[in-house]
Structure formats: structure tokens, C-alpha cells
Structure 1
Amino acid sequence: MLDRNSPVPLYAQLEDVLRAGILNHEWEVNTPIPSEVELSKIHNLSRMTVRSVITRLVNEGLLYRVQGKGTFVSEPKIATRSLAYMGIREQLEMMGYETTTQLVNFDIIRADAYLSGLFSIQPGEPVQYIERVRSVNDDPISIHRSYIPQKLCPSLTDENMETEQLCVIMERQYGLKADKVSESLSAILANEREAEMMLVEPRCPLLMLEDINKTAAGVVFEYSKVLFRGDKIKLHFEF
């Protein structure tokens, strides 16, 4: 029950009660929590207060709503570290997850102004473009897009792209290893193609992690963008 003599606001107490119930498996994954009406009666709170608390937990990814059916407990997010620390596939497999990789696109594009400046090449020079979808237990969690100057990896093919990590292939075949990584994180809204690939609704929020990989000599050899489903992945950074 909530403590009405506590300096902690009642809505915050209810949020703590529900969060504890979720994390302690009082309600199992994909099972409903009590309805707004039930929670209002149990805790003697207005439905508006209860609804606002549930909305916060939905936005946090602990709960999800199904229209006409109620509010359910979400699957726990997969916690991973920065890709500068270790590749996402390697991290997931170390945690015991079964992962699969689908190669969606392997093409040669022409460097635009941004890529030519980033790689110190001439505009129009060929750049390898590689796009993959990574899944856990057949559930898509991320889209990986890599850009690599063709002159650094002239014989790179799509062979083994679905069974090996790209970083392993580049180090083994071309001696390209990331010694320095520049990384940035932002939030975007999925376009229709990305939504279809990730099995989410268009304009669903995604996390975008951008990496610029450099050799020990300072040569930029890869620019990558990884889009994560925010409801499935939690990124952990240490400084």
C-alpha cells in the first residue's frame, strides 16, 4: 500500500510499486498488469494519476499497451556496451543469445561530399556499402550500415557476411583494425523501409549509433550507422 504520510508523492510511490512488481516477476512477461480501474481502487488514486504512471512505464519500455486488451509486461531489454568496446554480435553471443545476420544489401556507391571528406578521397570514388539486419531469437533488433572505401578492401565480397563479423573479415584480410573510434548516439524515427525491416510501425523511435573507425595510423577505414530498436536494446556506456 502507499504511504500517505511519506514526503514521496503518491504517483512516484505507485511507479515504484509497479516497477518492483515487474522486476520481481510478480507479473510475467507478456501477461497483463491490473487495469487502471483496479489500480485506482487498490491504491485510492484517480484514474488520471494511474494512467500517467503507466504511461511513464510504457515510455520506459517496461510495459506495452494492446488496444482493447490492457497493459502488459514487456520483455526485458538486452543491455549491451558501446560497439567501440566489442561488436554487438559478440556481446549478444557471450550473453547466451542466439543471433542471426541477414545481408540485405552489398553494393558499390560513389562517395558524396561527406564520405569523401571523411575518408580523404575524391568525390565520386567507389565506396563499399553493406547493410545487414541482426536478429535475436528471430526478432530483428538492429540494422547495420557500413561504408568502406573500396581501395582499402578491393576484393571484399559478400561471402561470409552473414556468418562472420565484418570487423573480423577486415582485420584478417586487410589488416584493418579499429584503434581509435569516434562514436555518437542520437534518436531518429523509423522510415517505412526501416520499420518493415525491424517489424515496427513507421515513425517508431530508434536509437542510432554512429561510429568512425580509425587505424593506429589515423586512417579512417569505416563509417557505420547502427539503428537499434529502443524497446529491445539498452546501451551502456562507461567513461
Structure 2
Amino acid sequence: MNKIINVLIAEDEPLIIGLLKKIFMQLSDSNGDWKFKLHPTQNCDDALKKIDNAIIETPFDLALLDINLPPSKQNNVLCGEDLGIELRKYFPQVKIIIYTANNDNYRLNNILRSVNPDGFLIKSDIDYKGLMMAIHRVLTNPPYYSPSILNLIRQHITSDFVLDATDRVLLHELSKGTRTKDLPNFVNLSKGGVERRKRHLKEVFNIEGKGDKKLIQIAKDRGYV
């Protein structure tokens, strides 16, 4: 009996979406019990609509999430990591594969701790066959981590902090040029709370005493905005 596997794809590059469709077709051909129903999206808002529909209709079994996606215009979902957190909230059994070009250890560690993906891939680590193998492994015997992620785990590069949704929204708005006095319109903090949160972020990134420009730059360098 064929198993219908509902798959959410959050990827803003049409060529990659086409590549993933080809991979799923090959996986279906090689395993007669697997039939995939793909739900491709190219930004966070469209992905959130798919998630809302799946809550009412059929849950997702698998999700492939690129980290760098156009952020939601409606709420605080800014990237693939935030989508992964949303999916975990509504579909506890969903298997999540995250892939990214970013190789900053702090950023990768944050994703490992906040989403705990079943598959985690650095794009430079994998080719077509490697991506197909990763998807097959996650469906049959997770987890699957690409070499750079395995190296990160082996070296025990961890931190005692995880940037939460408020941190990421605050950094996102600062990077857009939003003034500090206007930030309480975007995060559930008072003006004093915003200032305290910024000071904490500067401590986290070891740039105490520096200005917001430096905070934005290091957040960009590490892939948070």
C-alpha cells in the first residue's frame, strides 16, 4: 500500500525547487511504497499559509527549509529557522531538514538547539546524490548531518545562549533602519526593555560598549539577519 508523504518545501530559488522535485520523483520510483505530495513555497508568508491549511487538513510528514527566505510581512517569522519552530509546535511528528550556506558556528548551534532538525545540511557539503541520500536517511533512519555539522557537534562548539524570536525581530528591525524608540511597535518590550535586550545581545556577541551599527554588522556576519 502506497504511503502518501506530505512535504513542505520552503525555498526561494526556483532552480532548487525543480531539483528537489526531481529528487522526490526518483525516490518514489526507487521505493514503490512512497508517494510524495509536494507543497513548494518561496517565502515565509506562503509557507505559513501552507502550515495553516495543513493544521485543518493533512499534517506535514516532512519539511525542507532553507534558512534564508523572504521574511513574513504579517508576523515575526523571519527565516527557515522560525518556520521550523512553527512546524514543531503544530506537527510534533514532522521530520525537518534544514539546509543553509551559512557556516558560522554560533548560528548553526542556535538552529540545532532551537529546531533540533532531523537533517541539517551545509550546502557546500552536498551534491545532488548527497541531497537524495540525506532525504532518504531522514525518512528511514534519522538524523542525518552533513560533514560540517558533524564536525561542529564533535568539537562540542556550543554556547550558553539561543537567540529567541524577540532577539531576531529586534535585529531584523534594526537592520532595516527602525529607530530604537519605534522598536516597541514590533516587539513586546518597553523602550527600557529594548535597551536592556540590545545590551544583552552586545554582551552575547562580545561587543560591549559598541554602537548599534556594530551589532547589526556582527548579526549579519553570523547570519541572523
Interval containing the TM-score (normalised by the shorter chain): under 0.3
So what's the TM-score if we normalise by structure 1?
0.24
Structure with higher helix content: 2
Structure with higher strand content: 1
So what's the TM-score if we normalise by structure 2?
0.25
